[in-house]
Amino acid sequence: LGSRKERTLAMIKPDAVTKVGSIIQMVYDAGLIVTKAKMTKLPGKQAADFYIEHQSKSFFNNLVQFVSSGPIIVMELMGDEAVSAWRKVLGPTDSGVARKDAPSSLRAQFGTDGTKNAGHGSDSLASAARELEFFFPSTAGHGPTNTAKYQDST
């Protein structure tokens, strides 16, 4: 009892890519492991697709513009309650709030404000499944249904 292995999708956003060393240290310090990782760039259309649940929000355009503004690093993390464990490492969504409420969190240390907030983590097991498939699509048995998803341009 008590041990529930999960996978989650972690993203280092463009403003924090140069901090990848410190951030991977935070992953392992939290008891999680990195099981997949890649550096890539998200064109605006794919960023909008990734954040589709927020399309009606006032901050949507800023969000999409920001995450597509430069390279990102996406990782599959694994460990006990990885979804909530990684979100605890991230800290509050707004980096200004994070600096007050969780000063050692990733967003407190490496983010700037409510938009430029250094990192992302899936918020549930269901979104983790969707987001991992988005960045690390399983090819076996899926065929053409994968064509709408992110594809590396390299």
**Residues with active-site annotation:** 120
In eight-state DSSP terms, residue 14 is: G
- The vertex-55 CA angle with 117 and 119, nearest 5°, equals 20
Indicate the residue among 114 and 129 with the shorter CB distance to ligand DGI.
114
Name residues contacting ligand DGI, limited to 85-104 (CB under 6 A).
Answer: 93
**Can residue 63 be called a binding residue for ligand DGI (CB under 6 A)?**
yes
Residue found by looking up tokens 């694994």 in the block: 78
**Can residue 49 be called a binding residue for ligand DGI (CB under 6 A)?**
no
Contact between 42 and 67 under an 8 Å Cβ cutoff? The reply is: yes
**Can residue 68 be called a binding residue for ligand DGI (CB under 6 A)?**
no
Contact between 112 and 98 under an 8 Å Cβ cutoff? The reply is: no
CB under 6 A: which stretch of 41-49, 57-65, 77-85, 139-147 binds ligand DGI?
A: 57-65
Smallest separation (angstroms) from ligand DGI to the CB of 154 = 26
CA distance 7 to 122: 10
Q: Which residues bind ligand DGI (CB under 6 A)?
A: 54, 59, 62-63, 93, 114-115, 117, 120, 123
